[in-house]
Structure 1
Amino acid sequence: MHILLTGSSGWLGRFLAPRLRAAGHRVTGLDVAAGPDTDVIGSVADRAVVDAAFARGVDAVVHGGALHKPDIVRYPRQTFVDVNVTGTLNLLEAAVAVGCERFVFTSTTSLMISHAIRAGAGDAAVWIDETLSPLTPRNIYGVTKLAAERLCRLVHDEDGLPIVILRTGRFFPEEDDTHRALPGENMKANELLHRRLTVEDAADAHLAALERAPGVGFGTYIVSAPTPFAPGDAAALRHDAPAVIARYFPDVAALYAARGWALPATIDRVYDAALIERDLGFRCKTHFAAVLEALRMGQASPVAHDAHYVSPKERVATR
C-alpha cells in the first residue's frame, strides 16, 4: 500500500516510517519540519498541503502528527484546534474523497485523565480501560484529541472508512514537563508499570492497526505496556505502591537501590491494554520485567531517555 504518514519527522515517525517500508509499503511523509522520511513539508491544517500529498496516490493514512501536551505553553488554543481538529478533518475528508482503504489515528490516553484523576483524588488507583466515561479532558490537548476522535467516528459512520484509533500511553524521550521529582530514566522505568510504552512498541502497534483496520471497521484501543497489576491492587497501589510492586517483583528494591533509583510511593492510575491484545493480537514487547533484567545485567534501560531531545518542529520554529 501507499501510506501517507503525518508527523513523519517526529519521534514516532522516525521509528514508524522504516517499519512501514520494511513491511513492503510505500511511504509519503508529511510534516512541518524536514526529515529523512518527510516528502511533503507543511501543516495538516492547510487543506492545500493535504490535497497535494493525496495527489501522489494514497491508499491509507497513519495520522501521527499533532500538537502535544508540552506544546500548551508554546501555542494558543486556536492553533491546537487548527492542527489537531481541523487537520484531522482535512485528512479524513481527503481520504474519503480518494477512496482510501483504511485510516489509523494516533490519539492519547491523556484525554481520559480528568482533573480529579490527575490530582489523585480518591482512595484507589483508577483502573483505566476503553469503557471509562464520561471523558472530561483537563486541557486543550485532550479536548482537541477527543474532538478528533469524534470526527473519526462520524466519518466512519457516514462514509464507511475503516478507522482504528490508538490511545497511546507515554513514549516521549525527553524529561517530563511537569514532574521532576525523580531522574528521567528512573521515572520512565516506573511508568512502564502502569502508563508507558517504548516508542518501538508504539510504532509496531500502528502496523498492527493498519493491517487489521478493515476487519475492525472502527475501534478505539489503549496502547501501553502490559501492567503486572490487577484491578484488586488498586487500593494498595494508591497507598503503598512499593509493597505491591515487591509482591510481583521480589528483588526490585535491591535492584533499584543498586542503581540509586526509587520506586513510586503511590500510583494513581493504571492503563489496561488488554482490549488491543484481544482484538488485534497486539501486545507490547517491552514491559517492567525487561527493565529489571537490564538492571540485573548492568545494561541500559530499554526505555529511551534523552533529556536534550527537542522536537523537529520546535527546531524549525526557533530558527
Structure 2
Amino acid sequence: MKVLVTGSSGWLGRHLIPMLQAQGHTPVGFDIAPSHWTDEVGSISSRETLANVFNRHDFDAVIHAAALHKPDIVRYPQQAFIDVNVTGTLHLLELSVAHGIDRFVFTSTTSLMINQAIRAETSEEAVWLDEDAGPHAPRNIYGVTKLAAENLCRQHHVTRGLNTIVLRTSRFFPEEDDTHRLMSGPNMKANELLNRRATVRDMCRAHIRAMETVTDIEFGLYIVSAPTPFSRSDTLALKCDASALIERMFPDATGLYAKRGWRLPKSLGRVYDGSRIVGELDFTYETDFSSLLAALRTEGELPFIHDTRYESPALGYLDIADQRASGF
C-alpha cells in the first residue's frame, strides 16, 4: 500500500517509515521538518499544502502521527495546538474522504485520560484505565486537542464512512521525564514497562497492524501499552506497596535492579490496560517487563531507548512569534 505518514521526522515516524518499507509498503513521509524519512515538507495546518500532496499521490492509507505534544506546552501558544492537533486532523480526514481513501489510523495519547485527580494520585487504589474508562477531563491543551481530534475521527466514520482506528499510545519517547527527577531516566522507563510504557518498535507494529485491519474493524479505539503483569484485583496493593507485589511476582527483580543502582516503584497510581488490541486486532506485543528482566539477566541490550539529547525535530523550523501570527 502507498501510505501517507504525517510526522515522519518525529520519533514514531522515523521508526515507522523503515518498518513500512521492510514490509513492502510505500510510505510517503510528510513533516514540517526535513529529514531522511520525509518526502514532503509542510505543515498539516495548511489545507492547501496537504491538498497538493494528496493530488500528487494516490494514497491507499493515512497514518496520522503529526502533533504538538505535551512538552510543547511550554514552547507554543494554545492556538498552535488547535491549529495542528485539531485543524490539521480535520484537513486530513476531509481530504481522505474526498480522495476515496478507506484506511485512516490516528495516533492519539493516553494522556487525555488523565484528569487532575488521577495525576495527583488521590485515590486509595491505583486507577485501572482501559478503553471504557471515562468520562475524560484532560488537564492540559495537549489532551484537550487530542480528544477533540479523536471525536473528529469518530464523526468522519459515522457521517462519511471513513474506516478509522484511533491508537491511544502510552509513553514511548526516549527523553527524560519533564516532571519527575526521583530516579534515573532508564530506571523510570524500566518501571514504566509495568504500567504505562511500550517500546517504539511495538508502537510502530501496532500502527501497521491497525492499518492492515481497519477495513474489517471499520472503527476502533485501542490503548497501546506493554502488557501489564497486574490485574484489577491488584489495584490496592499497587498503591500501598507496589514493590512487594512486584517482588512476589518477579523474585529476582530486586537483585537485577540493584546491579544497575535502580529501584522498584514503591507505589503505582495508575495502570494502562493495552490488552484489547491483542484480542480484536490479533496483535502481539514483543516487549513487556519480563523482556526487560531477561535482558538484565544476560546483561543484554535494554528493550527501550533512553536519549537525554532527543528533541522534537520541528523545534528548528518553528518560531513562536511566527506561530502566533500564522498558526504553525
* The two structures share one fold, judged by TM-score above 0.5: yes
Secondary structure of 1:306's counterpart equals coil
The 5-angstrom pairing of residues 247-286 of structure 1 reads 247-286=248-287
Instruction: Report deviation, 1:50.
Output: 0.9
Q: Distance in 2 between matches of 1:257 and 1:5?
A: 41
Amino acid of the structure 2 residue aligned with 1:278? G
Q: Distance in 2 between matches of 1:160 and 1:23?
A: 27
Instruction: Report deviation, 1:83.
Output: 0.1
Which residue pairs with 1:14 in the alignment?
A: 14
Amino acid of the structure 2 residue aligned with 1:247? R
Superposed structure 1 runs of 4+ greater than 2 Å apart? 315-318
Instruction: Report deviation, 1:316.
Output: 2.9
Secondary structure of 1:222's counterpart equals strand
TM-score (norm 2): 0.95
Amino acid of the structure 2 residue aligned with 1:6? T
Give identity over the alignment, percent.
Answer: 56
Instruction: Report deviation, 1:317.
Output: 3.5
RMSD of the TM alignment (CA)?
0.9
Amino acid of the structure 1 residue aligned with 2:124? D
Which residue pairs with 2:148 in the alignment?
A: 147
Instruction: Report deviation, 1:308.
Output: 0.8
The 5-angstrom pairing of residues 44-193 of structure 1 reads 44-55=44-55, 56-193=57-194
Secondary structure of 2:259's counterpart equals helix
Q: Distance in 2 between matches of 1:136 and 1:93?
A: 27
Instruction: Report deviation, 1:191.
Output: 0.2
Q: Name structure 1 gaps, 5 residues minimum.
A: none
Instruction: Report deviation, 1:14.
Output: 0.8
Q: Name structure 2 gaps, 5 residues minimum.
A: 320-328
Number of aligned residues: 318
Once the two structures are overlaid, the 10-residue window that deviates more, 251-260 or 17-26, is 17-26
Which residue pairs with 1:243 in the alignment?
A: 244
Once the two structures are overlaid, the 10-residue window that deviates more, 85-94 or 15-24, is 15-24
Q: Distance in 2 between matches of 1:82 and 1:185?
A: 34
Which residue pairs with 2:322 in the alignment?
A: none
Amino acid of the structure 1 residue aligned with 2:301? A
Secondary structure of 1:304's counterpart equals coil
Which residue pairs with 1:214 in the alignment?
A: 215
Q: Distance in 1 between matches of 2:230 and 2:8?
A: 34
How big is each residue's C-alpha offset from its partner over 1:81-107, in whole Å with a ceiling of 9 and x where there is no partner? 000000000000000000002100000
Q: Distance in 2 between matches of 1:38 and 1:255?
A: 40
Secondary structure of 1:259's counterpart equals coil
Q: Distance in 2 between matches of 1:317 and 1:260?
A: 39
TM-score (norm 1): 0.98
Alignment partner of 1:314 is 2:315: yes
Instruction: Report deviation, 1:131.
Output: 0.4
Which residue pairs with 1:24 in the alignment?
A: 24
Q: Distance in 2 between matches of 1:158 and 1:300?
A: 47
